[in-house]
Amino acid sequence: MPLIDQILLMVLMKESLNNEIMTNEALQNSISKWFPEIEFTEENTEFLTLTVSKEQWHEVALKLKEEETMQFDYLFCETGMDWKTSLGVIYHLRSTILNHEIVVKVHTEDRENANIDTVCDIWRTAELHEREIHDLFGISFNNHPNMKVLILPENWEGYPLRKDYDDPVNMILR
């Protein structure tokens, strides 16, 4: 679709919605109709937080982007996490069209073979984030088109942002 058509569509959608932002409750009600097994919290923040299984993540992500009432078209932050018992990724999504945001957490219990489906086919910004997360946490992204080392030297051993990472030569311990 040409850019001018996209802009016109965005303007028309905003006008038709009277610039009303979906509340966290409305977002949760809509999402839970499609995926009743998703866990929801607000975790003392303004954002609704979803916890999605890694097996369901790609399907949920696609629905969040393509569903007319959601239109989460912007992945503005993707962060690797180490919760000691599991590894995972936190995704911050925004709809620039409908002006709402959510946070999605995806966990994997397998620390030795950590993997989650890529979403770079849905949000292009994920491509470099996922490579960085792989370098620093060791989480692989299934179906990623270019899972090469991004920031660490090729011969680097281990994953420096994991809580169990040990490097007595380069770490400063206090």
Q: Is the pLDDT of residue 4 over 90?
A: no
Average pLDDT, integer, range 109-117: 96
- For 145-157, the pLDDT digits (tens) are 999 999 999 898 9
Coil, strand or helix at 171: coil
Coil, strand or helix at 46: coil
Q: What is the DSSP letter of 80?
A: E
Write down the pTM of the prediction.
0.85
Mean pLDDT of the chain: 90
Q: Which CATH number is 20-142's, of 1.10.10.10, 3.30.460.80, 3.40.630.10, 3.30.750.24?
A: 3.30.460.80
162 residue type, one letter? R
pLDDT for 169 equals 74
Rg of the Cα atoms in the chain: 18
Q: What is the DSSP letter of 133?
A: H
- pLDDT confidence bin for 25, thresholds 50/70/90: very high
- For 60-93, the pLDDT digits (tens) are 999 999 999 999 999 999 999 999 999 999 999 9
pLDDT for 1 equals 65
pLDDT for 168 equals 72
Are 94 and 76 contacting, i.e. CB atoms less than 8 angstroms apart?
yes
Angle at 66 between CA 126 and CA 12, to 5 degrees: 115
Q: What is the DSSP letter of 58?
A: H
Q: Is the pLDDT of residue 15 over 60?
A: no
pLDDT for 14 equals 56
H-assigned helices in 78-165: 126-137
pLDDT for 5 equals 66
Q: Is the pLDDT of residue 43 over 80?
A: no
pLDDT for 45 equals 80
- pLDDT confidence bin for 42, thresholds 50/70/90: confident
Count of CB atoms within 10 A of residue 17's CB?
Answer: 14
C-alpha to C-alpha distance for 15 and 18, rounded to whole angstroms: 5
Domain assignments of the chain as residue spans, ordered by start: 20-142
